Amino acid sequence: MTSESPHDRPSALPLSGYVVLDLTIARAGPTAVRLLADWGANVIKIEPPVGRDGSGGSVTGVRHGPDDQNLHRNKRGVCIDLKHPDGAALFRRLVARADIVVENFRADVKVRLGIDYAQLRQINPRVILASISGFGQDGPYGDRPGVDQIVQGMSGLMSITGEPGGPPMRVGIAISDTTAGMFLGQGILLALLHRERTGEGQFLEVPMLECITSFLMVEHLYGHVFDPPTGQLGYTRVLNPYRKPFATKDGWIGLLPYTDKQWDQFFEAAGFGETIANDPRFADYFTRARHITELYQMVEQAAATKTTQEWLDLLKPLSIPVVKTNRLDELPDDPHLKAVELFQMYRHPEYGQYRQMRPPVKFAKTPSNIRLHPPKMGEHTDAVLAEVMAGEGEDA
């Protein structure tokens, strides 16, 4: 790791002192727990002696691959066989001292392993049990497995991605996983606030389908907000095929005038001048929306007349939203991301230097950093057990 500053120590961070038991695998649950770990929680990643999928919980099956480095940083790892009586007893001892348990088991598996809320609250009434799954535990799909691609398709997201008239298209990242993970992290913090006021723990769950559907329908519910519906379902400006990056002479550019003033400035800068100044199709927000296809066809034609840098130089002083459209491999060298130091280099004790992104939320007094590499299988079992024994001795 890099040299430690005072703010890198867990005791200086907002969640220091909270104990989290992480039973999650794949990506959605670990995304939520990573938030807690980054902000100082004492996260104990619990795995069976051999991972449930033979890979120790890794998304890709590669221990300490890119997913592990990202999702399991700042955690400690222990091995416990929850199916064995001794392992189950040890888990209950950990629950007695924990603040939060996070899992993504099916409902019947939770009960069988003693991880459902009814059983955990008997051990520790203050414990918060946070669950994440594809479809939740109720409803017709409550017993179905759900992964990102399945949820993307069912939510309708694939139907509005890609070219109009084309086949449904998957978003290029695991957006259902990460969205649900962020919701779960937020939910856990709210449950902690409730407990601070009342002393009560509680059960909370985040179904991936409901998360991504709620994101989509904010923009696309439109005419179906009221009952009976007052218009067409959908948001034509989002669905319009011309609302996309535009090809320039030498690359691609993200360009989106929005206000009346910005559109007037763009028309002048693009050389449309008098030919469009008095065109009633583009006079204001509502007329532009009705003629959105013609409008973006004009933008597309204009974009091809200049290089990317020429457009950036021309439009930046006008405060028109405009950026170069980056490829993923260009991001570490993006001048803005370099200046804000999003990408940072760390040293792994076995694998050498690796690049990682710092947490994007910035706190003035309690900034976080990466303090621990993802744990090896059971790397901290002895240390965690020693803490449990010492804590029980203190309680005696």
Catalytic residues: 177
Amino acid identity of 206? V
In whole angstroms, what is the distance from residue 378 CA to residue 200 CA?
31
Query: Quick one: DSSP state of residue 331?
Result: G
Cα–Cα distance between 393 and 396 in angstroms, integer? 5
SS3 label, residue 128? strand
Contact 19/32 with Cβ under 8 angstroms? no
Q: State the Rg of the chain over Cα.
A: 25
How distant, in Å, are the alpha carbons of 7, 39, 379 from that of 363? 11, 10, 31
Q: Residue-wise over 134-168: b if at least 16 C-beta within 10 A, else e?
A: bbbbeeeeeeeebebebbbebbebbebeeeeeeee
State the DSSP code for 260. Answer: H
3-state helix, strand, coil in the chain (%, to 5): 45, 15, 40
Strand duo 42-47 + 322-324: pairing: unpaired
Which tokens is 379 given?
């790397």
Which residue matches tokens 């020429």? 310
Contact status, residue 114 vs residue 124, Cβ threshold 8 Å: no
As given in the structure block, the two tokens for residue 198 are 């009342």
Neighbours of 317 (CB within 10 A): 9
Residues making up the chain, counted from first to last: 396
Question: What 8-state DSSP symbol labels residue 74?
Answer: T
Angle at 124 between CA 37 and CA 82, to 5 degrees: 70
Backbone region of residue 63 per phi and psi (left: phi > 0; alpha: psi in -120 to 50; beta: other values): beta
